[in-house]
Structure 1
Amino acid sequence: MRKDFTAFVAVVACTGALLACKKGSTGEATPAASAEAQKTPGVLFSKKVPGVGAKRTEDAKNEIEVQIEAKRAGRVIHSGAFKKNEREKKRVEVLAANDTAVTKVKVTYLEKFDAEAEGKAALKRKPSPVSGKSYTVEAVNGSVEVHSDSGGSVPSKEKKIVADDFKDLGKPDKFTSFIPSRPLLDGEKLLVTADIVREMFGSKDGDEMSVDSATFTFRGTRTEGPLTYGTFDVSFKLTASPKDQDLGMVMDLEGKVTVDTATSWPIEMNLKGPLTMKGKSDKAGVELDGKGSMTAGMTAQYE
């Protein structure tokens, strides 16, 4: 029985990768200063591709807490808690771009790790092999090439992590494609496609994901110095299944997304909500259920 329970916990841990907030966090970076949102009708968001030399620092943090029960013939035979935290702070510099997309970057992973714990045990941190390292990433003929900062080869494990992180390099950004090229009114609701949600969470190829009732509601702007930020309330129901895992997962997430009105570049994203999971082990006749919560977010600073 313990083997089945441990296997399920391992699957739950995999959801961190499925649900990693791609655009970066409720991390340690300081959020933009609070200011009462101004109800500004007719706000037009411009869209801009970052130019050569542009730099940004993203700070991302995701947390999952789940209470898991294992049942056989309807009877609880084991239960326990599982917690997983993830942190990724990176600095990205644009080395090449065209009119529609960034095509080459230098990325430095200032810090990247995950931490897991079962029951009342303390979180055990596991650094990523890319943490503290820099890479050059370039979109070439539909694929992504990864090299060390000095131009040399990169170990396969590191290359896969970086390539997955930048798999959309060279393609137009989907993240803010929900913003129309016309002025938005305060309180206006925008329907969001599943592709945009997948972009937000950086789901892996092969993962099954469906999105219900996804809406972004414009909540006006706030001005900080020379910059004006637009804020959207976000709400959607996400049903997902990690690739090659007999696990179903449902989340009802709500939160806010803030973008720069002059560029449509994301500034902050904070999401949270309940999640439920169901899995099974056919050989042992065991059903596994999990209930808990997830929080995810990002902050981004631009130079």
Structure 2
Amino acid sequence: MKTRLLVTGSSGFVGRHLIRQLQGRPDHQVRALVRRLPEVSATGVEYVALPDFSAVYPEHPALHGIDVVVHLASRVHVMNDTEVDPLAAFRRVNVEHTLALARSAVSAGVRRFVFVSSVKVNGEQTVSGRPFRETDPPAPVDPYGVSKMEAEDALKALALETGLEVVIIRPVLVYGPGVKANFESMMKWLVKRVPLPFGAIRNQRSLVALDNLVSLILTCTTHPAASNETFLASDGEDVSTTELLRKLAKALGVSATLAPVPQWMLVCGATLVGKKALSQRLCGSLQVDISKARKVLGWQPPLTLEQGLEVTAQHYFRERTE
């Protein structure tokens, strides 16, 4: 029996990969919300063009016959937000619009709502060796994290009220083919053999490969035990920033030149130039424990960290030569 999916955010980093994984699969029927129709359609995927997911009202044809909504669309975290009231902007999209979509899904007879949230609901940092768990009290710091926590709470309340099965996934930093921002910058630095002052960082960070996150999302669309549960998502392998750069350099086929600048000096220097948040991501620890997903769902990340980095590096070189 086919599972009929509606995917929001299908043109985003995770959404595009999810659609690619689903195309042509006989066990899924896929409908993707997009802002504009793609020039090349994925095999077996039905596209619905809408300005954004908030336009999906209860009787909207996009919800007709759908079993599961995979909700990836959101107002994403940005470093230099220009909104006068960032929290209000995040709440409008990530809380109010998400809840409206979920209520429309209930009205349309949708059985399950898979909500891709963020580890930022747990917080920004962990003490090395003490990873976040799903049972930890939420401790979001920034407006994005607060909005994701409030969306989770609203969806849980809706589940109690209506019987909708809600599944929450909190990924850590996602990397993979086509990754942008700081991860892409690291690859550029390494390929150009730029000396980097990150040779003595002893933190521990969890990451999640795109393939691994998509695997967990797909598991959560159908697994009976996923109903009304929350799962943290990572590769299940933690590395320091120094180790990550060395492994990434190896995947890129280059040698990393990492100067052993003391960590305290990096933090102080970054703070002085207004880059404290960046230094926190480079030097601080953020680990998650994925044993719940392993135990409850029988799920294992399909790729190791090294394999995930290799796939990412191969795509990076392909893009440079095209």
The structure with the greater share of residues assigned to strand is 1
TM exceeds 0.5? no
Per the normalisation by structure 2, the TM-score is: 0.27
